[in-house]
Amino acid sequence: MFGDRHLIVVDLGFGDAGKGATVDWLCSPRAGLDVSAVVRFNGGAQAAHNVVADGRHHTFRQFGSGTLSGVPTLLSRHMLVEPLALAAEARELAAMGVAHPLSLLYADERALLTTPIHGAANRRREDTRGTARHGSCGIGIGETASYALDHDAPRVADCARPDVLRRKLIALEEHYAPLLAGGRHRYDPIDDLVAAYTAFAGAVAILPGEQLAGFARSGRLVFEGAQGVLLDEWRGTHPYTTWSTVEPRNARDMLARIGAPGYVLGVTRAYLTRHGAGPFPTEDPALSIPEPHNGTGVYQGAFRRGHLDPLLLRYAIDACGGIDGLAVNHLDAVGDIRTATGYLTADGCVDRLDCGVWQDLEHQRGLTDLLSAATPALADLPGDVPGYLEAELGAPVVLTAHGPDRADRTVRITAQA
């Protein structure tokens, strides 16, 4: 099905489409793919990839979703690493029976550190926006990325250099002091952070660069994305986006540097969801689909549900530069779902969204305006949802899921595959 290509798993929606469950299956003995590592290629500790397998449930945040199958995780230089959250996640995995979770973790020394200072600043900034919040998780992802644009930011390598780390943390604290003054958000003292990060450096393999070729020689790589393409920093519904390149550009570049082929597997639900503010044309509050692992977030707001939207999925595929195959999840929940055939707008009916050019935020703001005012034209969803999506999106559906468990996934071979 995939040949000898490494796999790049990317969410075609607003997130929460089932990337973690898909990666878990790809890494499991059921798939038989001989995976040597899961490579996290964007995002940070705000990820929430739910995996249910063999009676166990875990929400993966920084560890790769192949961990329950004993597959190591490589945190690439494109990840924003939060050591305190990683330590907490390691304890959760150990309690589930994963032996020595931190021994399965490798981190590129160039990756940026997300600290409690970033998190406090993030929450304070969202507080000041009031009802105009962007829908942040409140962990500090945007602050981590934006601070690093103009400052000598803390990185994973600094965890093994306490004096350098302390200097950088002091500078970070001074930078955010005016924003945090008088606010309610607190963080650990710098000396405590230095001690915790030094312990992190002693427990995790910190690599001088990504060392991708070595992992690739041992087996197949699975690149696990975070968030969804419709939240991409340059391709999403600006300003309701993440400070991260979600589309597979970085994963493709990493593979190109080692001369290895990649297969982009786009993931979608059989309907759409959004967790956070921003436009959502097919949203339908009347849909009462159970969501045991996603609820209302303090900064994100409510978890939203909507009908299938091939227009947005085609847009996401264009933003990815094309995909090779599709994984369709939540097929067990299509009872009341319909599908969009177009949008009714002030300028007439729209049945295709222009992807524009990369790094054009004015175009993205225009997309946000269009989607915010659009009324979807809905039709009944055909009974063969995978076949319908193949025809609408021009890519083969190679994997389907009719439930949350690893055992609920089925390989679907088509003529196109």
Catalytic residue set: 16, 49
What residue type is assigned to position 206 of the chain?
Answer: I
Identify the residue whose tokens are 């759409």. Answer: 272
Structure tokens at 127: 């507080």
- What is d(CA 155, CA 147) in angstroms, rounded to the nearest whole number? 12
Structure tokens at 191: 């000396």
CA distances from 85 to 113, 196, 226, 228 (A): 11, 11, 16, 22
Residue 231 in 3-state DSSP? Answer: helix
- What is d(CA 245, CA 259) in angstroms, rounded to the nearest whole number? 22
- What is d(CA 216, CA 223) in angstroms, rounded to the nearest whole number? 12
- What is d(CA 64, CA 107) in angstroms, rounded to the nearest whole number? 12
Q: 312: which residues sit within 8 A by CB, 6+ positions away?
A: 13, 230, 272, 281, 353
Structure tokens at 326: 């599709």
Instruction: Name 163's bridge partners.
Output: none
Alpha helices in 115-273 (DSSP H): 116-129, 141-150, 162-180, 190-203, 212-218, 249-257
Task: Report the chain's terminal Cα–Cα distance, integer Å.
Answer: 7
